[in-house]
Amino acid sequence: MSQVKTLALVTGGSRGFGVAICEQLAKKVENIDFSLYARSQQGLESTEKLIKQIKPSANVNLFVADFGDIASLQSVWSQSLKKVNFSEYQRVWLFNNHGSLGPITNVSEYVFNSFLIFIDMDQDHLSNFKEIESEITLNVTSVFVTSSLFLKEIKSVSTPIETSVINTSSLAAIQPFDTWGIYCVGKAAREMLLSVITAECKDTPNIKTLNWSPGAMGTDMNKEILVKTKDEGSKQFWEDMIKNNKLVDPNFSAGKMIDLLISNTYTSAAHIDVADA
Amino acid sequence: MSQVKTLALVTGGSRGFGVAICEQLAKKVENIDFSLYARSQQGLESTEKLIKQIKPSANVNLFVADFGDIASLQSVWSQSLKKVNFSEYQRVWLFNNHGSLGPITNVSEYVFNSFLIFIDMDQDHLSNFKEIESEITLNVTSVFVTSSLFLKEIKSVSTPIETSVINTSSLAAIQPFDTWGIYCVGKAAREMLLSVITAECKDTPNIKTLNWSPGAMGTDMNKEILVKTKDEGSKQFWEDMIKNNKLVDPNFSAGKMIDLLISNTYTSAAHIDVADA
């Protein structure tokens, strides 16, 4: 596979699992270029630096993108795809890795009555459902934008490219957890989107999808969980995970995922957990 | 159960399956009041008239609500709940029945290049992804608004009310269909939301959820499918369903669902298809 030239598009590429994906790609894939997307230019530059240290030959393009703003995302994403000559590549992977945790609270407690806010100042209740709408946009609608425009480009190239649309998923996509409503719904929605894409690619088997459940990792999101979780049992669970060193290393999880993508042995639209890979 | 007083909140109550739900509730439930929600005042009044013909004693409240506009929905929905004295009722059912079909096209073809629009004028491609965002808001985020504020009210009543949050679902919630991306994702997301609500109600077993898959029905949405479907195989399938009289009668499906709710024998968060009820 040494002549294969690979392009990786990584969203949420400035932090956490996104950085680990980039690090592992740079280490495991010989001839590879990158398009990285995140809100923070500084974060993106830091990831670029890490990639270049491992693989100086990689072309790395950075795009500041807000996945919660659909009009702006559509514009940035379209322009970023136009900068790529897809026919240069034999293998293209889109990592839909961006996402947010959302409020960690019961569905019945998303918005409190105004008088209760004063009683309950330490809780981070939302002021209104426009914030829930933004979370859904960021976690679900944005993945329609990236996947749709990406697939349109891939299908327009005359030679079939070995393509995968990868979703950073979670056990929460297939199992409900109380107080994790937005997160569970977002992940379930993303998995169904990939299943539909796979159904639509029955005549183009070079295009596959993969839902990667990376495990409970030690990332910034994990710290956010600890701050947001109100339930004492859950808090204890996560604190024990840290204390007993049971959190999955993001680089270990990303490495397993890249191995699977390179081997190309997964069934399209599969949900695969790091524990089973 | 003759002393039981029931309240039914029905969204999408002006058309199709929503009207059938109201008709069957009026026929099968002795002592019942209604809160109906839809965009069309005229459609709501028509449903009210139908209910009153069957059950003159029912109190019917109508609320014009746009489920695609979250700020407005939050306001209308909150006000509508304030008008209800929940402690009057021993049984309350929220039917999250509203929804839209969305574009019926491959994910890769949601938005065409501008020059292609002129070649392909007969297809209903979207001009941009803001329209996809509105579809997701209407089909997913709005269900957070209705369910969240509803459950907050239910939980604030001192005597536990026999409560169910019902979702008009579809086979598309659990099985991907090509060209049905928005519809499948919306229905999968709604089912996960109900699963999370059920997980959060483990200590309040009086609150249950139900995903009702009503079957392929002869409603306005069915006509919309025939107009929108581009794929000849799918078009033939739906035309044959009509020709061979195989479409499910919305009143038959709604009747089966109400029987199940009255018997209260379903497992909370179950996905139940009319064919299996």
In a domain, A1, yes or no: no
* A24, containing H or E segment: helix A16-28
Residue B243 lies in a domain: no
Nearest CB neighbour to A141, from listed B74, B136, B180: B136
ipTM attached to this prediction? 0.94
Answer yes or no: do B140 and A136 touch at CB < 8 A. yes
Q: B94 φ, ψ to 5°?
A: -100, 115
Please give, rounded to a whole number of angstroms, the shortest distance from the CA of B29 to a CA of chain A.
27
Pairing of strands A60-64, A32-38: parallel
Residue pLDDT tens, chain B, 277 long? 458 999 999 999 999 999 999 999 999 999 999 999 999 999 999 999 999 999 999 999 999 999 999 999 999 999 999 999 999 999 999 999 999 999 899 999 988 644 444 444 444 455 689 999 999 999 999 999 999 999 999 999 999 999 999 999 999 999 999 999 999 999 999 999 999 999 999 999 999 999 999 999 988 888 888 888 877 877 888 889 888 988 999 999 999 999 999 999 999 999 999 999 8
User: What pLDDT is attached to residue A112?
Assistant: 65
Shortest alpha-carbon distance between residue A257 and chain B (Å): 24
Question: Which residues of chain B does A269 touch, with a Cβ-Cβ cutoff of 8 Å?
Answer: 176
- pLDDT score for B156: 94
* Closest to B45 measured CA to CA, from B25, B62, B65, B67: B62
Q: Is the Cβ of A157 closer than 8 Å to some Cβ of chain B?
A: no
Interface test with B, best of A115, A143, A182, A196 (most B CBs within 10 A): A196
Any domain includes B146: yes
- Report the residue from B71, B136, B154 with minimal CB separation from A136: B136
Asked if A144 and B200 come within 8 Å (Cβ–Cβ), the reply is no
What does each C-alpha distance from A5 to A87, A92, A162, A231 come to in angstroms?
A: 10, 9, 11, 48
User: Cβ A191–B188 below 8 Å, yes or no?
Assistant: yes
Hey, are the CB atoms on A71 and B136 less than 8 Å from each other? no
Closest CA of chain B from A49, distance in Å: 33
A110 has a chain B CB within 8 A of its CB: yes
CA count, 13 A, side-chain hemisphere, A9: 27
Quick check: A167 contacting B, CB < 8 Å? no
Among B231, B143, B180, B133, smallest CA distance to A110 is for B143
Facing residues of A134 across strands?
A: none
Q: Is B64 exposed, middle or buried (0-12, 13-18, 19+ CB in 10 A)?
A: middle
Distance from CA of B168 to the nearest CA of A (A): 16
Residues 45-84 of B with CB under 8 A from A: 70-71, 73-74
State the CATH number of the domain containing residue B206. Answer: 3.40.50.720
Q: With respect to residue B145, please indicate whether it lies within any of the assigned structural domains.
A: yes
**Cβ B71–A129 below 8 Å, yes or no?**
yes
Best A79, A107, A147 member to test B by mutation, with max B CBs in 10 Å, is A107
Q: Do B196 and A176 touch (CB under 8 A)?
A: yes
The radius of gyration of chain A from alpha carbons, rounded to an integer in Å, stands at: 19
Range of the domain at A172: 6-276
- A191 in B contact zone (CB under 8 Å): yes
Supply the pLDDT for residue A120: 41
On the CB side of A104, CA atoms within 13 Å amount to: 18
* Residue B69: burial class (beta carbons within 10 Å; 0-12, 13-18, 19+): middle
Measured from the Cβ of residue B63, the count of other Cβ atoms closer than 10 Å reads: 20
Are A176 and B195 an interchain contact pair (Cβ–Cβ within 8 Å)? yes
Nearest to B130 among A71, A140, A178 (CB): A71
Scanning B1-30 for CB atoms below 8 A from A yields: none
Using a CB–CB cutoff of 8 Å, tell me whether A169 touches chain B: no
Which residue in chain B has the smallest CA separation from A105? B200
Q: Is residue A245 part of a domain?
A: yes
Number of domains in chain B: 1
Size of interface A-B (CB pairs under 8 A): 170
Of A106, A185, A199, the CB nearest to B192: A185
A186 assigned to some structural domain? yes
Query: Within chain A, which residues score under 50 in pLDDT?
Result: 1, 113-124
Task: Quote the pLDDT of residue A118.
Answer: 40
A231 touches chain B (CB under 8 A): no
Nearest CA in chain A to B105: A200
* A274 touches B: beta carbon within 8 Å: no
Question: Does the residue B236 lie in any domain?
Answer: no
A193:B107 CB<8 A? yes
Q: Is residue B15 part of a domain?
A: yes
**Helix/strand/coil (H, E, C) string of chain B?**
CCCCCEEEEEECCCCHHHHHHHHHHHHHCCCEEEEEEECCHHHHHHHHHHHHHHCCCCCEEEEECCCCCHHHHHHHHHHHHHCCCHHHCCEEEEEECCCCCCCCCCHHHCECCHHHHHHCCCCCCECCCHHHHHHHHHHHHHHHHHHHHHHHHHHHCCCCCEEEEEEECCHHHCCCCCCCHHHHHHHHHHHHHHHHHHHHCCCCCCEEEEEEECCCECCHHHHHHHHHCCCHHHHHHHHHHHHCCCCECHHHHHHHHHHHHHHCCCCCCEEEEHHHC
User: Is B85 touching A (CB cutoff 8 A)?
Assistant: no
CA distance A43 to B119: 42
Q: Report d(CA B34, CA B22) in Å as an integer.
A: 8
CB contact under 8 A, A178 and B106: no
Closest alpha carbon within chain A to B176: A196
- For residue range A160-216, what is the model confidence (pLDDT) as tens digits? 999 999 999 999 999 999 999 999 999 999 999 999 999 999 999 999 999 999 999
